[in-house]
A and B are shown apart, each in its own frame.
Chain A
């Protein structure tokens, strides 16, 4: 629990928001009131405002938006996590191998990484996805993962290069550890915060890219991901027609997931690199905020300058217990 407590606030917010979306992705479809694709032949159900029957209204075809949203969050989150996982594994494999083996391996793998890095992603995505089958999300996942790994690979390669030259790696090599063991037990644990950050980043990229692709119509338009909901909403002029309940919820979901991931990512960054925090942070001492650039606080002044209200409030706090016993007090 102390890990959670020491997390920066933004990481906590990010984790909670993203956790909510994960729960929706796992359990949401259980609670969906209708089949998201079911279009009742009743014309009166077209483009209904949100009501007790349809909490988020209906689409042009009378489909329930809430049901679509719950399915859409699941599909999009699954896709993003899968892309993140595959791309991260690829980056770790390529980055660590290139840096650790060095020589020709490094040259070849770096070349491949750089080629993938300069390939213009969006046109390639459009071409590839137009060519591959659009049944299910598998082709989208593969293409996004295949284009999403080079950034991480380069960062991890650089980090591995610095770790590889440290003394403890030399020591474990001298003591006869096998290469795979050094990589898995000596190098990767030292990069774990980098890898996690890379994963979160890639998930973020996958959500953005998949929604964008679906929005322009390059996806399985029979399924309901957040992107395809937006595609159909746009296709049916939901914005112009004032059917806000159709496009705001999926748009908001995308924005919230994205924000949560960004917060989570920069929060993880601070955990992995405490200097980011210490340089600008402040500490609470005896109930007072003290900046790290301030002179060393003196207890008498901290308590003296506290107003009556402040002192009263402070007496409830945990740190006030520490103030009662001045150092060395009980010894005299």
Chain B
């Protein structure tokens, strides 16, 4: 299956007077049709910059310094031939945004206009991108609310009359207004409590099954991704440290950073254990040190770490004493911590 969105070698900087802040550096990420890819990392690791940079939504001083973002969706006139988002002009981007790639923004409270009824706001999205006749557009808006399980009589509500969960649902409905191929969700559930969060995630999964779009899900909540995502990409200091199927990542984390993340929340079953956070704080992205950016905080750090080139290599899971290729899609940027090393139980 060929990926629908293929980000390769993407680098994004914020150009400041004090030098470039390298927020995203040589990131490779693929999104297959109908797949949920979770993008995970702490605050400031470049998750959102990656997603918005790839869709060219960042404002100056952001600057894409390299790479390509190939999209091969069904609606592009060339009939599925890949196009590079980074070479598109304003108008081409405008035509494909929302119809092809839609975004659910981080904070529903700020993304909705407080003085317009949600009917008007949904209608805006529908009319701007679909060019439907009036009556059909109105019907479409009502259907959208049905889709996310909000009663139709809420159409005349203002955003402040809705609960946080409902507002987030409206945002999702808005993103789905044009039946996009790819939906980027930027922490859509961060401000919600866990119960509402679960409802919305269930709804997202159900809609995905029904409508068949691919999701890039950005969050700092790794435990949430383990449940939701098909594949997970772990980001740190603007770089991808590890990608792999959610199951593999949970069962057999490769990169020390991922292990640190997995060790920072309790699991429901299994022995009680001490929760270990990751001491220290992320590095200054203006002046990156050579090698692995996680080195200063890493329990496995050795001098060779400063010569690591951060390319993603297959991780060969160790099972039963012999090393075998478990899944070639499980990639790690750390060549120091091999399965053999982790088998020896250096992990404290």
Contact = CB atoms under 8 A, between A and B. Distances in A.
Nearest to A299: B65
B60 interface: yes
A286 B291 CA distance: 27
Contacts of A296: 12, 52-53, 56-59, 62-64
A171 interface: no
A331 B309 contact: yes
Contact of A290 (B60, B93, B290, B310): B60
Contacts of B228: none
Interface in B277-327: 288, 290-291, 309-310
B61 A283 contact: yes
Contacts of A298: 56, 63-64, 86-87
Contacts of B90: 294-295
B220 interface: no
A297 B60 contact: yes
Contacts of B11: 326-328
Nearest to A6: B17
Interface string B35-55: 000000000000000001100
Contacts of B22: 327-328
B309 A295 contact: no
A327 B56 contact: no
B20 A299 contact: no
B266 interface: no
A283 to B, nearest CB: 3
Nearest to B290: A331
Interface in A281-316: 282-283, 285-286, 290, 292, 294-302
B25 interface: yes
Interface in A248-282: 282
B204 to A, nearest CB: 26
A328 B309 CA distance: 10
B88 A331 contact: no
A332 interface: yes
B329 to A, nearest CB: 24
A327 to B, nearest CB: 4
A4 to B, nearest CB: 14
B15 interface: yes
A282 B52 CA distance: 19
A119 interface: no
A328 B60 contact: no
Nearest to A290: B60
Contacts of B288: 331
A317 B306 CA distance: 33
A299 B66 contact: yes
A239 to B, nearest CB: 52
Contact of B25 (A282, A286, A328): A328
Given A295-B56, A332-B309, A327 B61 contact: no
Interface in B7-44: 11-13, 15, 19-20, 22, 25-26
Nearest to A2: B17
A301 B15 CA distance: 16
Interface size class of B (residues with CB under 8 A): 20 to 34
Contacts of B87: 298, 301
Contact of B15 (A282, A292, A322): A322
A322 to B, nearest CB: 6
Contacts of B291: 331
A295 B15 CA distance: 16
Contacts of A331: 288, 290-291, 309-310
A189 B57 CA distance: 35
A286 B63 CA distance: 9
Contacts of A295: 56-57, 88-90, 93
Nearest to A294: B90
A320 B302 CA distance: 37
A299 B60 contact: no
B5 to A, nearest CB: 16
Given A300-B66, A327-B65, A331-B310, A283 B60 contact: yes
Nearest to A302: B63
A299 B63 contact: yes
B66 A326 contact: yes
Given A295-B90, A328-B11, A328-B22, A285 B65 contact: no
Given A322-B19, A328-B26, A297 B64 contact: yes
A325 to B, nearest CB: 8
Choose among B19, B26, B59, B63 the residue with the greatest number of A CB atoms under 10 Å from its CB.
Answer: B63
Nearest to A318: B17
Contacts of A299: 63-66
Choose among A282, A295, A322, A331 the residue with the greatest number of B CB atoms under 10 Å from its CB.
Answer: A295
A1 to B, nearest CB: 12
Contacts of A322: 15, 19-20
Nearest to B24: A327
19 contacts: A283-B61, A285-B60, A285-B61, A285-B63, A294-B60, A295-B88, A295-B89, A296-B57, A296-B62, A296-B63, A297-B64, A299-B64, A322-B19, A327-B11, A327-B13, A327-B22, A327-B65, A328-B22, A331-B288
Q: Lowest 4 A-B CB distances belong to which pairs?
A: A283-B60, A295-B56, A327-B11, A296-B56
Interface of A: 282-283, 285-286, 290, 292, 294-302, 319, 322, 326-328, 330-332
Given A285-B61, A298-B86, 16 more contacts: A283-B59, A285-B60, A286-B15, A292-B59, A292-B60, A294-B60, A295-B88, A296-B57, A296-B62, A322-B20, A326-B65, A327-B13, A327-B20, A328-B11, A331-B309, A332-B309
